[in-house]
Amino acid sequence: MDVTESIRYIGTDDKTIDLFESQYVVPKGISYNSYLIIDDKTAVMDTVDLRCTDEWLNNLKDKLNGREVDYLVVSHVEPDHSGSILRLIQLYPNITLVGNQKTFGMLKQFFKVDLENCTLEVKEGDTLSLGSHTLKFYMAPMVHWPEVMVTYEQAEKVLFSADGFGKFGALSEEDDDWACEARRYYFNIVGKYGAPVQGLLKKLSGLDFKYICPLHGPVLKDNLSYYINLYDTWSSYKPETKGVFIAYASIHGNTAKAAEKFAELLRANGEEKVVVTDLARADIAEAVEDAFRYDRMALAAASYDAGVFPCMQEFLNHLQAKAYQKRKVALIENGSWAPTAAKAMRGMLEAMKEMEIIEPVVTIKSSLDDNSGKQLEELAKSVIK
Ligand code: FEO
């Protein structure tokens, strides 16, 4: 798993965490990546979550082979990467922490640690020589948090990309489809910050990479343009895949039936990719991912308390928080006496940027009948158009 002979992997897998960041299910766990560069000076690139400190220190000592740690580069202070810093400082009291203007204040906030005389503050474009390896630092504010920076190692052309290009899933788990869990990770964790990601991609566009080393997920080595192009698509809020994502919020099953009927109509009319999700039971992070992935979305929801059924409201709140934009959306509402779901959904969607509601909006009274069935057929044609 080492990157090169002198850039070694010392990270850890966490396969017992119940929820990453206390909100994301990670059925295949997560990796906290950390790297050791061995040269005249040694540099550790980030630490790991406190949950894995002992294992990580064993990895580090093993690869250090008796040497000291000269530098710790802190790309990101979030505790899944900074959690083991105090233990590292205790073990290697002569270490120098490398960070930017925002890094050390934040570290003090988290760990109440005195960092006098053990820090090196770097800014955009600064370099640090380790011997034959040279680290060049690029600030990446809000590519998750404000203090984030990425590091380019010039000799072996390695980008240490912080959370960028990360994914859910432990490294020991088989995973042939990088994009699936990388997309769920991106849109839920970094998705709101498309503009900063675009800025970073532009900044790095002149560099020649052979490896991208993120803080989660595998080291990327081959066909790097595939990953970079996906990040460009995702961060510019462009759809990745032509298709319709149908998300429904059904109380007693009638709205679910309408959503399934709508999927059938779309397929019958030639739509090749149609994905249906039950918001009451689905992983909401996966639903957010799919909403961003496809170029069109259809929302089918029951009315509730003069608004919309709560799991749909929650889903739309998530989309709004992640800066969902530039999409076409079809609306199907259900209501037994005073349907209100469409109005509530429309209001939330219209507060987002560059959204288009596909007409007609379909209203179902309790369960599908001839009239609402015809509306559904008309809507399917409009969605395909
Ligand atoms: Fe993996 Fe933003 O921490």
- What is the pairing mode between strands 24-25 and 30-32? unpaired
pLDDT at 175: 83
CB of residue 46 inside a 6 A radius of ligand 1: no
| Separation of alpha carbons 44 and 325, rounded Å | 39
> Torsion over CA of 374, 379, 384 and 385, rounded to 10 degrees?
100
| Separation of alpha carbons 233 and 244, rounded Å | 18
- Over residues 97-132, the pLDDT tens digits come to 999 999 999 999 999 998 988 999 999 999 999 999
For 179, 302, 343, the CA distances from 335, given in Å and listed in that order, are 38, 6, 12
CB of residue 78 inside a 6 A radius of ligand 1: yes
Residue 126 CA to ligand 1 centre (angstroms):
23
First to last CA, the chain: 48
CB of residue 167 inside a 6 A radius of ligand 1: no
Nearest CA to ligand 1 atom 3: 78
Report residues of the chain scoring pLDDT below 70.
none
pTM score of the predicted model:
0.96
Residue 163 CA to ligand 1 centre (angstroms):
5
| Separation of alpha carbons 212 and 166, rounded Å | 10
Q: With contact defined as beta carbons under 8 Å apart, do 186 and 234 qualify?
A: yes
Paired tokens of 61: 């000592």
Residue 205 CA to ligand 1 centre (angstroms):
23
The dihedral through the CA atoms of 7, 8, 11, 13 has a sign that is: positive
Q: With contact defined as beta carbons under 8 Å apart, do 212 and 159 qualify?
A: yes
Atom of ligand 1 nearest to the CA of 144: 2
Q: With contact defined as beta carbons under 8 Å apart, do 341 and 366 qualify?
A: no
pLDDT at 119: 97
Q: With contact defined as beta carbons under 8 Å apart, do 326 and 353 qualify?
A: yes
Burial class (CB in 10 A: 0-12, 13-18, 19+), 349: buried
Q: With contact defined as beta carbons under 8 Å apart, do 291 and 297 qualify?
A: yes
pLDDT at 361: 98
Residue 176 CB coordination number (10 Å): 5
- What is the pairing mode between strands 119-121 and 96-99? parallel
- Reduced to 3 states (helix: H, G, I; strand: E, B; else coil), residue 205 is coil
Q: With contact defined as beta carbons under 8 Å apart, do 75 and 81 qualify?
A: yes
CB of residue 286 inside a 6 A radius of ligand 1: no
pLDDT at 116: 86
| Separation of alpha carbons 284 and 293, rounded Å | 14
Distance of CA 346 to the CA centre of its chain: 26
Q: With contact defined as beta carbons under 8 Å apart, do 244 and 271 qualify?
A: yes
Residue 39 CB coordination number (10 Å): 17
Contacts 24+ apart (CB under 8 A), 260-265: 261/368, 261/373, 261/376, 262/298, 262/300, 262/332, 262/376, 262/379, 262/380, 265/376, 265/377, 265/380
Residue 214 CB coordination number (10 Å): 24
pLDDT at 172: 97
CB of residue 144 inside a 6 A radius of ligand 1: yes
- Beta bridge partners, 364, equal 334
Count of H helices and E strands in the chain? 12, 21
CB of residue 322 inside a 6 A radius of ligand 1: no
pLDDT at 176: 84
Helix axes 224-235, 178-185, angle to 10 degrees: 30
Q: With contact defined as beta carbons under 8 Å apart, do 277 and 226 qualify?
A: no
- Reduced to 3 states (helix: H, G, I; strand: E, B; else coil), residue 238 is coil
Helix ranges, 44-149 (H): 53-64, 79-82, 85-91, 103-111
